[in-house]
Amino acid sequence: MFDPKTKVLIVDDMLTMRKIILKILEELGFNDVDEAEDGNEAWEMVKKGNYGLIVSDWNMPNCTGLEFLKLVRADEKFAKTPFLLVTAEAERGKVFEAIKCGVDNYVVKPFSKDALKEKLESTYKKVETRLSA
Amino acid sequence: MSQKKFTFEKHDGYYVIKFDGALDFNNCKLFEEEIDGNSNYANSHIIVDCESFITLHQDWIRLFLKLKSATKLTGKMFKFIHVHKELQASFKRLGVDQSFKIAKDLKEVLDEVGITVKRTINTEFINPFLLATVHVLKIQAAVEATAGQIYMKKGSENLNGDVSGIIGIVSETFNGSVVISFPEKTFLRILSKMMGQELTKLDKSNVAGAGEITNMIFGNAKVVLNQNGYGIRQAIPRTKQGKENDVGSDAKAPAIVVPFETQLGEFFVEIYLAA
């Protein structure tokens, strides 16, 4: 599992969902968590911060989660940052598109605390080798 | 033996070919057997749904060209829809971009050939919203919701709740809106459970929670509806405080109302079709 000291960025245009994810992360022990309202704001924060994990909504105005993911993956400095997409729909085409763009994992809304914890654990297993390289 | 990873969805006057994931080279033989074995395909408009793939092997090009030639002989349309940018580039690279005509979506093709598909609100359309509502409330708020007796209301009548999430339905066959409408007390109780903190008053930030609930319900229902060919497009919800019905032009069309009971109070799912 990710070290609870990992700096996390939550990105979602809906305050309610940011607070739900924040609450779950806090219950899992994460205490260094920032929030952004859309992909543009998140990208500015990524460039300044040192995030070890990004949890981003997909469907946002201005800059979607997918567009934000592409920005992160295109920049060598941040390309390896673990990235979890949160989406209200799990249509095959969309999932495929996200995987092609380099997402590490995705979670479908609605999700329980256990479901998000499981996704974080499986994401960590997937990226562990990449992060230690 | 390879398993078929494609389907030919039969409709009145046309077929929609859908693929389960990327185009499997091993499926070419099965696909060719399918098109050779059914002369109806050549006599129908053919629409290839490219949503699940971004590249294709030469053998698939040959098969699509074969099917296209057959439809051309009978004066029928052969088009690709939901074509990703990468696939378009592949078409160009492989020299078939002039032969493989692309349309944005099914509706565009059907409009071009003059086929009108009239969808009605029926249980096939409503049920995914009801099931999604129950699912979302249960998982995200640990609230059990039970649907009551469905009834119709005039589209111009007030919304049933004080706080509503509204999302537009734009699809290949009809347009409308879905509204999840909560009385204030029910909404605050449900949102309190979702967020793990007691909320006692409506304010701008927590009213937005109605939009998120609506977003989740719509997203879950959309997956099922699109598997059944409704072609519903992605949308971003908005929220409304107050009962005044401003659900765009949809307010003129009749609405179906599904009341829900929970241990925290009642709320309503309202479905409007555009007039």
Under an 8 A CB cutoff, do B212 and A19 touch? no
Closest CA relative to residue A90, chosen from A124, A115, A53, A63: A115
Residues of B within 8 A of A89 (CB-CB) are 219-220, 222-223, 234
Residue spans of beta strands (DSSP E) within chain A: 8-11, 33-36, 53-57, 83-87, 105-108
Which two structure tokens, joined as six digits, stand for B231? 């072609």
d(CA B64, CA B59): 9
- Per-residue pLDDT band for A61 (boundaries 50, 70, 90) equals confident
* Sign of the alpha-carbon dihedral angle for B65, B67, B70, B75: negative
Judging by beta carbons within 10 Å of its beta carbon (0-12, 13-18, 19+), is residue A3 exposed, middle or buried? exposed
Put simply, whether B128 touches A (Cβ < 8 Å) is no
Under an 8 A CB cutoff, do A20 and B51 touch? no
Optimal mutation site among B215, B217, B222, B239, interface A, most CBs of chain A within 10 A: B215
- Do A89 and B220 touch, CB atoms closer than 8 A? yes
- Do A89 and B219 touch, CB atoms closer than 8 A? yes
DSSP code for A80:
T
Closest CA relative to residue B271, chosen from B117, B163, B167: B167
Under an 8 A CB cutoff, do A88 and B226 touch? no
Optimal mutation site among B202, B216, B227, B236, interface A, most CBs of chain A within 10 A: B216
pTM for the model: 0.74
Closest CA–CA distance from residue B171 to any residue of chain A (Å): 15
Taking 90 as the threshold, does the pLDDT of residue A88 lie above it? no
Put simply, whether B224 touches A (Cβ < 8 Å) is no
Taking 90 as the threshold, does the pLDDT of residue B17 lie above it? yes
Taking 60 as the threshold, does the pLDDT of residue B1 lie above it? no
Closest CA–CA distance from residue A90 to any residue of chain B (Å): 7
d(CA A128, CA A106): 17
Nearest to A16 among B208, B218, B226 (CB): B208
Put simply, whether B205 touches A (Cβ < 8 Å) is yes
Closest CA relative to residue B236, chosen from A13, A117, A48, A22: A13
Residue in chain B lying closest to A22 (CA)? B195
β pairing state of A53-57 and A83-87: parallel
ipTM: 0.84
- Chain segment B32-66, per-residue pLDDT in tens: 999 999 988 999 999 999 988 888 888 999 999 99
